Amino acid sequence: MSSCSINWLLLLSLIIYSVSSTSSALFSKTHVLIYNDIGTGTQLAVHCKSNDDDLGPHVLAYRQSYEFSFHLDFFLRTLFFCNMQWNGTVYRFDIYNQKRDDDRCGNRCEWNVHGDGACMLNPQTSKFDICYGWNT
């Protein structure tokens, strides 16, 4: 077998391995869980969308949660953003950005929404300590 044939065989093997190792993540669902941590007695209105899906409005009482799930995009383009409203003010936040979140939370991303933004549950510390402010 020539070295060119061996190189092609190695390249093909690498491609097959790459696709098979990522395919299980692509075929399983990713779950996003949003908790209202705005404050006692404050309702949080959440309306999440992607380019393809409008998940509709949901109203969460304090400490209540909302969960949705989806399949990832092979090209790392999955993005869900939410409008979050309380006390008459609307904020926007990218609740799932595949490029940002896929390695951090795997197939389950949990968010604690508070007045300054949202904090993701860190699987390494089991605390909501990966925090982001609202989108501008």
Taking only the tens place, the pLDDT of each residue in 27-71 is 789 999 999 999 999 999 999 999 999 999 999 999 999 999 999
Both structure tokens of 40: 């006692």
Q: pLDDT at residue 9 above 60?
A: no
pTM of structure: 0.80
Q: Would you state the pLDDT for residue 42?
A: 97
How far is Cα of residue 40 from the mean position of the Cα atoms in its chain? Answer: 26
Q: Which CATH architecture has domain 27-133?
A: Sandwich (2.60)
Closest CA to 66 of 106, 105, 95: 95
The pLDDT tens digits of the residues spanning 79-122 come to: 999 999 999 999 999 999 999 999 999 899 999 999 999 999 99
Contact, 46 vs 82, CB < 8 A?
A: yes
CA dist 29 → 50, 73, 100 (Å): 15, 11, 17
Give the Cα separation of 53 and 58 in Å (integer). Answer: 15
Q: What is the Rg, in whole angstroms, of the alpha carbon atoms belonging to the chain? A: 19
Q: Would you state the pLDDT for residue 76?
A: 84
Give the Cα separation of 113 and 132 in Å (integer). Answer: 10
DSSP 24: H
Q: Provide the b/e sequence for 11-35 (b: ≥16 CB within 10 Å).
A: eeeeeeeeeeeeeeeeeeebbbbbb
Both structure tokens of 2: 């020539």
